[in-house]
């Protein structure tokens, strides 16, 4: 049963959508507490207002001077404590918008009351977002993610606290491991780009450092902790080596080396993804690239290496792109040349069994593509090509389900606010049409203010990890009330603020330690006890 924690106070205006409550000092009321208050509304019957505590204020009552506190501490002046909390109403049931009356008892909402307050009761399909401060599950409405009413998740937060990608993988884990997808689970796919470090290369290994209390948190969310069961890991082929060896760090076994054939590169017109710098719009290079693509697609040149291909293009450029100035052609050539050492080895002529080295995002439930070792231009190329392939595959399929999830960090690089580039177009396309095509983008970036507005605007779920306080003042975070913005500056790893369409106030959510390994050491077999005798 919900427990009384205070009363609606009458010294501040109580309104249908927000009000203050006074709480006895011994009653510990904290931010994010879910509360409810009932009110008799005459003919309308009983109205219940559900809400979330978003401010808590304590004062000395009866003190008039700041120094009264010293007198109170000396035992000379009798002062009493007053603790009040501000409640933002999330739901009114039935929808009779009346203010709660001062003096009405306010209860901490638990069980069904809590579910109602946070709209969990109306979510026919829900996925775990994490746990609230009081250790209760927090859910998201899957209808706002799978495209039926909305789609996409956008995660902002400063880097270095390993929160963004960890949370993105946690969300995927919850979506895949709960019964949410039903029969479609097997055909639902996710694609993760590992852009930094090797965090995501061990998703298929259970985390040996997972403590029992963390496992209990998974259980609370209805999940069984463990590794991702069905994972394919791709890494680029090693540079300067004829053999197809995956260029990975500590992760050795079970990694597929990927590259593209010159045939596919030409036929599928991938050249443009070598020219993705945002400044390209200011010159004619992209038009030259398009011309060249056309020619290459018409007749694939018989060359063995990308270097040869580049030379062939250079020779033909005067004919293919004769309409452009010599300066433009020279610029194009320069860039093409500089791509050779950076990207060239990923595009190869005669690969014996090319199919084994092609990224197939439908092979496993989860596909991890490691690009962290690649040069920035190569990263863009891989992301651009893979995403376009996936998008085209989904377009051909023509149905929204089974869904395809894409996890991409550093969106600020690939979909910056300013400028135009082929890769940005793919991401924008995904953000705008992905909802109907069943391509769900879980994008992350340090600063949402530097991302293309439409990418962020199309995200139903907005997630904020620890933010730089100046960044938190930007308009992109207008969905956060002032207190949440301030809190975003001090969030610890493992804690995030989630905003979702149905709940009018963002929720502070904690998510458990990853049950899958996030680095080599965590994937190890538990070592024998090294020091059996305690110091």
Partner 1 sequence: MKLRLDPWPADYEAPIQLDDDAPAIGATVDHTVESATWHAIAPEPATATACYFVDGVRRVEARVMGSFDGILTHGLMGSLSAGFVKAEGPRARFGDIIVNRYLILGKGQRETMLDYAPHSTTDNTPNAVLGELQSLMRTAETRMAEHAAGKGGCVFVDGPSYRATGAQDVVGVIKRIFEAYVSDDRFALVETLRRGGRTPLFSIADGVYDRYSCFLRLADPRPIDHPLAGIVRVEIGAAVGLQRARELASLAASLLPRFASTSQRDPRAPQNLLPGGALEQEMRRRLGDPVLLRRGIEKSLHEQRDR
Under the rule (CB under 8 A), what is the footprint of partner 1?
62, 64-65, 68, 71-80
CB atoms within 10 A of CB 476: 22
**CB-nearer residue toward partner 1: 3 or 64:** 64
- Kindly state the smallest distance separating residue 70's Cβ from partner 1, in Å: 11
What spatial distance separates the first Cα and last Cα of the chain, rounded to whole Å? 48
Q: Which contacts of 318-323 are long-range, i.e. CB under 8 A and separated by 24 or more positions?
A: 320/291, 320/292, 320/295, 321/288, 321/291, 321/292
Cα dihedral: 140, 396, 188, 235 (round 10): -110
**CB-nearer residue toward partner 1: 62 or 94:** 62
| Complete DSSP assignment for 403-446 | PEEEEES-HHHHSBSSS--HHHHHHHHHHHHHHHHTEEEEEEES
- Kindly state the smallest distance separating residue 67's Cβ from partner 1, in Å: 9
**CB-nearer residue toward partner 1: 68 or 432:** 68
Whole-number Å distance between alpha carbons of 439 and 399? 10
Phi then psi for 57, rounded to 5 degrees?
Answer: -130, 130
Whole-number Å distance between alpha carbons of 31 and 456? 27
Helix or strand run (H / E) with residue 373: none
- Kindly state the smallest distance separating residue 139's Cβ from partner 1, in Å: 45
Phi then psi for 255, rounded to 5 degrees?
Answer: -115, 130
- Kindly state the smallest distance separating residue 102's Cβ from partner 1, in Å: 14
Cα dihedral: 175, 179, 184, 190 (round 10): 20
Whole-number Å distance between alpha carbons of 363 and 41? 59
**CB-nearer residue toward partner 1: 76 or 533:** 76
- Kindly state the smallest distance separating residue 65's Cβ from partner 1, in Å: 6
- Rounded to the nearest angstrom, the gap between the alpha carbon of residue 209 and the centroid of all alpha carbons in its chain is 24
Whole-number Å distance between alpha carbons of 343 and 380? 10
CB atoms within 10 A of CB 155: 26
| Complete DSSP assignment for 101-160 | PTT-EEEE--HHHHHHHTTGGG-SSEEEEEE-TTS-EEEEEGGGTBSSS-B-EEEE--TT
- Kindly state the smallest distance separating residue 14's Cβ from partner 1, in Å: 18
- Kindly state the smallest distance separating residue 81's Cβ from partner 1, in Å: 11
- Kindly state the smallest distance separating residue 79's Cβ from partner 1, in Å: 7
**CB-nearer residue toward partner 1: 65 or 533:** 65
**CB-nearer residue toward partner 1: 64 or 298:** 64
- Kindly state the smallest distance separating residue 170's Cβ from partner 1, in Å: 48
- Kindly state the smallest distance separating residue 68's Cβ from partner 1, in Å: 8
**CB-nearer residue toward partner 1: 13 or 61:** 61
**CB-nearer residue toward partner 1: 67 or 294:** 67
Q: Which of 362, 380, 345 is nearest to 262 (CA)?
A: 345
Whole-number Å distance between alpha carbons of 310 and 305? 9
Cα dihedral: 313, 319, 325, 327 (round 10): 30
**CB-nearer residue toward partner 1: 42 or 75:** 75
**CB-nearer residue toward partner 1: 71 or 303:** 71
């Amino acid at each position: 049963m919900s427990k009384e924690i205070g009363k609606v106070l009458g010294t501040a205006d109580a309104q249908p959508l927000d009000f203050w409550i006074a709480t006895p000092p011994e009653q510990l009321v904290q931010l994010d507490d879910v509360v409810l208050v009932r009110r008799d509304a005459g003919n309308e019957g009983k109205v219940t207002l559900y809400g979330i505590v978003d401010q808590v204020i304590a004062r000395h009552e009866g003190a008039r001077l700041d120094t009264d506190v010293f007198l109170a501490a000396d035992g000379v002046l009798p002062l009493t404590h007053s603790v009040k909390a501000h409640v933002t109403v999330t739901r009114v049931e039935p929808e009779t918008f009346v203010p709660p009356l001062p003096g009405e008892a306010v209860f901490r909402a638990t069980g069904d009351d809590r579910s109602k307050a946070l709209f969990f009761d109306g979510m026919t399909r829900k996925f775990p977002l994490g746990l609230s401060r009081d250790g209760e599950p927090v859910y998201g409405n899957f209808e706002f993610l799978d495209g039926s009413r909305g789609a996409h998740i956008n995660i902002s937060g400063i880097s270095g606290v390993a929160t963004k990608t960890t949370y993105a993988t946690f969300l995927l884990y919850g979506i895949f491991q709960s019964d949410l997808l039903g029969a479609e689970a097997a055909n639902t796919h996710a694609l993760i780009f590992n852009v930094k470090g090797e965090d995501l290369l061990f998703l298929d290994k259970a985390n040996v450092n997972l403590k029992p209390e963390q496992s209990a948190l998974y259980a609370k969310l209805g999940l069984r902790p463990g590794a991702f069961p069905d994972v394919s890991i791709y890494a680029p082929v090693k540079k300067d080596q004829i053999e197809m060896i995956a260029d990975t760090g500590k992760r050795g076994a079970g990694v597929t080396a990927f590259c593209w054939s010159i045939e596919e590169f030409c036929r599928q017109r991938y050249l443009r993804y070598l020219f993705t710098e945002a400044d390209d719009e200011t010159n004619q290079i992209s038009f030259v690239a398009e011309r060249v693509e056309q020619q290459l697609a018409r007749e694939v040149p018989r060359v063995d290496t990308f270097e040869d291909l580049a030379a062939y293009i250079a020779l033909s450029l005067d004919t293919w792109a004769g309409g452009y100035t010599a300066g433009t052609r020279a610029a194009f050539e320069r860039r093409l040349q500089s791509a050779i050492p950076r990207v060239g080895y990923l595009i190869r002529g005669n690969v014996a069994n090319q199919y084994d080295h092609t990224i197939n995002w439908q092979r496993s439930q989860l596909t991890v593509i490691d690009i962290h070792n690649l040069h920035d231009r190569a990263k863009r190329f891989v992301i651009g090509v893979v995403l376009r392939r996936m998008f085209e595959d989904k377009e051909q399929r023509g149905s929204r389900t089974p869904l395809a999830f894409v996890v991409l960090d550093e969106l600020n690089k690939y979909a910056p606010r300013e400028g135009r580039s082929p890769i940005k177009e793919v991401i924008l396309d995904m953000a705008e049409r992905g909802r109907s095509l069943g391509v769900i983008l879980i994008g992350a970036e340090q600063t949402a203010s530097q991302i293309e507005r439409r990418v962020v605007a199309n995200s139903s779920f907005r997630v904020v990890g620890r933010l730089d306080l100046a960044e938190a003042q930007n308009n992109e975070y207008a969905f956060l009330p002032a207190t949440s913005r301030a809190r975003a500056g001090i969030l610890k790893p493992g804690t995030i603020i989630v905003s979702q369409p149905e709940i009018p106030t963002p929720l502070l959510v904690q998510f458990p330690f990853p049950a899958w390994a996030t680095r080599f050491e965590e994937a190890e077999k538990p070592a024998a006890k090294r020091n059996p005798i305690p110091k």
